[in-house]
Amino acid sequence: MATQLNREGIFLARPTAWSIQSKQDGSTQSAALMIHYRVEYELAADGNWNEVPPDTETVGMHNVIKADGTINQGAVERLKKVLGWSGLFGDVVGTSPPDLRVRVDVKRNDYQGKTSWRVEWLNAESDPIGGKGGLDETGARNLDAKYGHLMRAVGGQQRPGGKAPPPPPSKGAGNSPAPAAQAGQTGQAAQPALAGIDPKDVPF
Protein backbone atom coordinates (compact mmCIF):
# COMPACT_ATOMS: atom_id res chain seq x y z
CA MET A 1 0.00 0.00 0.00
CA ALA A 2 1.32 3.43 -0.95
CA THR A 3 2.42 5.90 1.72
CA GLN A 4 1.57 9.56 1.20
CA LEU A 5 4.45 12.00 1.56
CA ASN A 6 4.00 14.04 4.75
CA ARG A 7 6.69 16.73 4.66
CA GLU A 8 7.92 19.64 2.58
CA GLY A 9 11.04 19.44 0.48
CA ILE A 10 12.54 18.93 -2.95
CA PHE A 11 12.18 15.45 -4.41
CA LEU A 12 12.92 13.40 -7.50
CA ALA A 13 9.81 11.54 -8.59
CA ARG A 14 8.06 9.88 -11.52
CA PRO A 15 4.50 10.69 -12.65
CA THR A 16 2.42 7.53 -12.52
CA ALA A 17 -1.11 8.71 -13.36
CA TRP A 18 -2.92 11.85 -14.45
CA SER A 19 -6.49 13.00 -14.90
CA ILE A 20 -8.48 16.16 -15.60
CA GLN A 21 -10.37 17.76 -12.71
CA SER A 22 -12.86 20.50 -13.57
CA LYS A 23 -15.26 22.71 -11.64
CA GLN A 24 -18.11 24.84 -12.94
CA ASP A 25 -18.73 28.11 -11.11
CA GLY A 26 -21.54 30.02 -12.75
CA SER A 27 -20.51 30.88 -16.29
CA THR A 28 -16.84 30.02 -15.79
CA GLN A 29 -15.14 26.63 -15.61
CA SER A 30 -11.76 25.91 -14.04
CA ALA A 31 -9.62 22.91 -14.89
CA ALA A 32 -6.51 21.25 -13.48
CA LEU A 33 -4.29 18.31 -14.28
CA MET A 34 -4.17 16.09 -11.22
CA ILE A 35 -0.90 14.15 -11.35
CA HIS A 36 0.18 11.37 -8.99
CA TYR A 37 3.92 10.93 -8.45
CA ARG A 38 6.00 8.07 -7.08
CA VAL A 39 8.73 9.68 -4.97
CA GLU A 40 12.24 8.22 -5.26
CA TYR A 41 14.76 10.63 -3.70
CA GLU A 42 14.82 13.63 -1.35
CA LEU A 43 17.33 16.48 -1.47
CA ALA A 44 19.11 16.62 1.91
CA ALA A 45 20.59 19.68 3.63
CA ASP A 46 24.11 18.56 2.66
CA GLY A 47 23.20 18.65 -1.03
CA ASN A 48 23.01 14.88 -1.48
CA TRP A 49 20.02 12.90 -2.71
CA ASN A 50 18.72 10.43 -0.13
CA GLU A 51 16.52 7.52 -1.10
CA VAL A 52 13.01 7.55 0.35
CA PRO A 53 11.03 4.46 1.43
CA PRO A 54 9.52 2.47 -1.45
CA ASP A 55 5.94 3.19 -2.51
CA THR A 56 6.03 6.80 -1.28
CA GLU A 57 3.66 8.97 -3.29
CA THR A 58 2.56 12.58 -3.59
CA VAL A 59 0.09 14.47 -5.77
CA GLY A 60 -0.01 17.76 -7.65
CA MET A 61 -3.02 19.80 -8.78
CA HIS A 62 -1.65 21.76 -11.74
CA ASN A 63 -4.24 24.45 -12.46
CA VAL A 64 -4.32 25.20 -16.18
CA ILE A 65 -7.60 27.14 -16.37
CA LYS A 66 -8.12 29.55 -13.48
CA ALA A 67 -11.36 30.13 -11.59
CA ASP A 68 -12.00 33.24 -13.70
CA GLY A 69 -11.79 31.19 -16.91
CA THR A 70 -8.39 32.50 -18.04
CA ILE A 71 -5.49 30.27 -19.07
CA ASN A 72 -2.71 29.78 -16.52
CA GLN A 73 0.09 30.25 -19.04
CA GLY A 74 2.93 29.47 -16.65
CA ALA A 75 1.44 26.14 -15.62
CA VAL A 76 0.65 25.12 -19.19
CA GLU A 77 4.15 26.00 -20.39
CA ARG A 78 5.70 24.07 -17.50
CA LEU A 79 3.62 20.93 -18.19
CA LYS A 80 4.48 21.09 -21.89
CA LYS A 81 8.19 21.59 -21.27
CA VAL A 82 8.66 19.02 -18.52
CA LEU A 83 6.13 16.31 -19.43
CA GLY A 84 5.65 16.92 -23.13
CA TRP A 85 1.91 17.50 -22.69
CA SER A 86 0.23 18.51 -25.95
CA GLY A 87 -2.06 21.02 -24.24
CA LEU A 88 -5.13 18.99 -25.18
CA PHE A 89 -7.29 17.59 -22.39
CA GLY A 90 -8.35 14.68 -24.57
CA ASP A 91 -4.76 13.45 -24.65
CA VAL A 92 -4.87 12.95 -20.87
CA VAL A 93 -8.13 11.03 -20.48
CA GLY A 94 -7.56 7.27 -20.32
CA THR A 95 -3.79 7.53 -20.76
CA SER A 96 -0.64 7.46 -18.63
CA PRO A 97 1.89 10.29 -18.33
CA PRO A 98 5.35 9.79 -19.84
CA ASP A 99 7.69 7.60 -17.78
CA LEU A 100 10.44 10.03 -16.86
CA ARG A 101 12.00 11.37 -13.68
CA VAL A 102 11.19 14.95 -12.69
CA ARG A 103 11.93 17.21 -9.75
CA VAL A 104 9.07 18.49 -7.60
CA ASP A 105 8.83 21.06 -4.81
CA VAL A 106 6.36 19.84 -2.20
CA LYS A 107 4.63 22.24 0.20
CA ARG A 108 2.13 21.91 3.03
CA ASN A 109 -1.50 22.64 2.14
CA ASP A 110 -4.25 23.37 4.68
CA TYR A 111 -7.83 23.24 3.40
CA GLN A 112 -11.10 22.96 5.32
CA GLY A 113 -9.34 21.80 8.47
CA LYS A 114 -7.31 19.13 6.68
CA THR A 115 -3.57 19.14 6.04
CA SER A 116 -1.89 17.57 3.04
CA TRP A 117 1.42 17.93 1.21
CA ARG A 118 1.21 18.69 -2.49
CA VAL A 119 3.45 19.46 -5.42
CA GLU A 120 3.75 23.24 -5.68
CA TRP A 121 6.22 23.37 -8.56
CA LEU A 122 7.30 20.98 -11.30
CA ASN A 123 10.78 21.01 -12.84
CA ALA A 124 12.77 18.91 -15.24
CA GLU A 125 15.33 16.79 -13.41
CA SER A 126 18.15 18.80 -15.00
CA ASP A 127 16.80 22.26 -14.07
CA PRO A 128 18.94 24.27 -11.61
CA ILE A 129 17.83 23.95 -7.99
CA GLY A 130 15.69 26.93 -7.04
CA GLY A 131 14.99 27.83 -10.65
CA LYS A 132 11.31 28.50 -11.37
CA GLY A 133 11.24 29.81 -14.89
CA GLY A 134 13.24 32.96 -15.63
CA LEU A 135 16.06 33.49 -18.12
CA ASP A 136 17.79 30.62 -19.83
CA GLU A 137 21.60 30.38 -19.89
CA THR A 138 21.91 32.51 -23.03
CA GLY A 139 19.88 35.31 -21.48
CA ALA A 140 21.93 35.13 -18.30
CA ARG A 141 25.20 35.30 -20.27
CA ASN A 142 23.94 38.39 -22.09
CA LEU A 143 23.26 40.08 -18.77
CA ASP A 144 26.73 39.09 -17.59
CA ALA A 145 28.29 40.67 -20.66
CA LYS A 146 26.47 43.92 -20.00
CA TYR A 147 26.57 44.18 -16.20
CA GLY A 148 28.92 41.45 -14.98
CA HIS A 149 31.90 43.74 -14.35
CA LEU A 150 29.72 45.99 -12.19
CA MET A 151 28.18 43.09 -10.28
CA ARG A 152 31.56 41.50 -9.54
CA ALA A 153 32.85 44.76 -8.12
CA VAL A 154 30.19 44.72 -5.38
CA GLY A 155 31.44 43.06 -2.16
CA GLY A 156 34.38 41.21 -3.70
CA GLN A 157 34.30 38.11 -5.85
CA GLN A 158 32.22 35.18 -4.65
CA ARG A 159 30.76 32.33 -6.64
CA PRO A 160 27.79 30.85 -4.82
CA GLY A 161 26.37 27.54 -5.92
CA GLY A 162 23.11 27.08 -7.74
CA LYS A 163 23.63 24.14 -10.04
CA ALA A 164 21.66 21.05 -9.22
CA PRO A 165 23.67 18.38 -7.40
CA PRO A 166 24.42 15.23 -9.39
CA PRO A 167 21.24 13.13 -9.52
CA PRO A 168 21.27 9.57 -8.20
CA PRO A 169 21.13 6.70 -10.67
CA SER A 170 17.75 5.51 -11.82
CA LYS A 171 16.27 2.83 -9.61
CA GLY A 172 16.69 -0.67 -10.94
CA ALA A 173 19.88 0.31 -12.81
CA GLY A 174 21.31 -3.28 -12.89
CA ASN A 175 18.23 -4.62 -14.60
CA SER A 176 16.85 -3.67 -17.99
CA PRO A 177 14.39 -0.87 -17.28
CA ALA A 178 11.75 -0.10 -19.86
CA PRO A 179 12.67 2.91 -22.01
CA ALA A 180 11.12 6.21 -20.97
CA ALA A 181 8.10 7.28 -22.98
CA GLN A 182 8.69 9.94 -25.57
CA ALA A 183 7.13 13.34 -25.05
CA GLY A 184 3.41 12.96 -25.50
CA GLN A 185 3.56 9.12 -25.75
CA THR A 186 0.88 7.55 -23.60
CA GLY A 187 -0.64 4.21 -22.67
CA GLN A 188 -3.85 3.07 -21.13
CA ALA A 189 -4.17 3.36 -17.37
CA ALA A 190 -6.94 3.58 -14.81
CA GLN A 191 -7.33 6.98 -13.21
CA PRO A 192 -7.12 7.37 -9.40
CA ALA A 193 -9.90 8.93 -7.36
CA LEU A 194 -9.77 12.63 -6.52
CA ALA A 195 -9.38 11.82 -2.82
CA GLY A 196 -11.26 14.89 -1.60
CA ILE A 197 -9.02 17.53 -3.20
CA ASP A 198 -10.80 20.64 -4.48
CA PRO A 199 -9.28 21.66 -7.86
CA LYS A 200 -10.15 25.29 -7.10
CA ASP A 201 -7.63 25.28 -4.27
CA VAL A 202 -4.48 24.84 -6.28
CA PRO A 203 -0.91 26.09 -5.94
CA PHE A 204 -0.64 27.77 -9.35
The structure's pTM equals 0.66
Name the residue among 100, 101, 76, 116 with its Cα closest to residue 11.
Answer: 101
Cross-strand bridge partners of residue 175: none
Domains within the chain, CATH numbers bracketed: 3-129 (2.40.50)
Our measurement of the distance from residue 16's CA atom to the centroid of its chain's CA atoms, rounded to an integer in Å, reads: 13
For 46-55, how does the pLDDT look when each residue is reduced to its tens digit (9 = 90+)? 999 999 999 9
Nearest Cα neighbor of 52 from 84, 81, 14 is 14
Cα distance between residue 19 and residue 97, in whole Å: 9
What digits encode the pLDDT tens for the residues 97-150?
999 999 999 999 898 899 999 999 999 998 887 655 566 677 778 788 888 877
CA distance 152 to 157: 6
pLDDT band at 93 (very low <50, low <70, confident <90, very high): very high
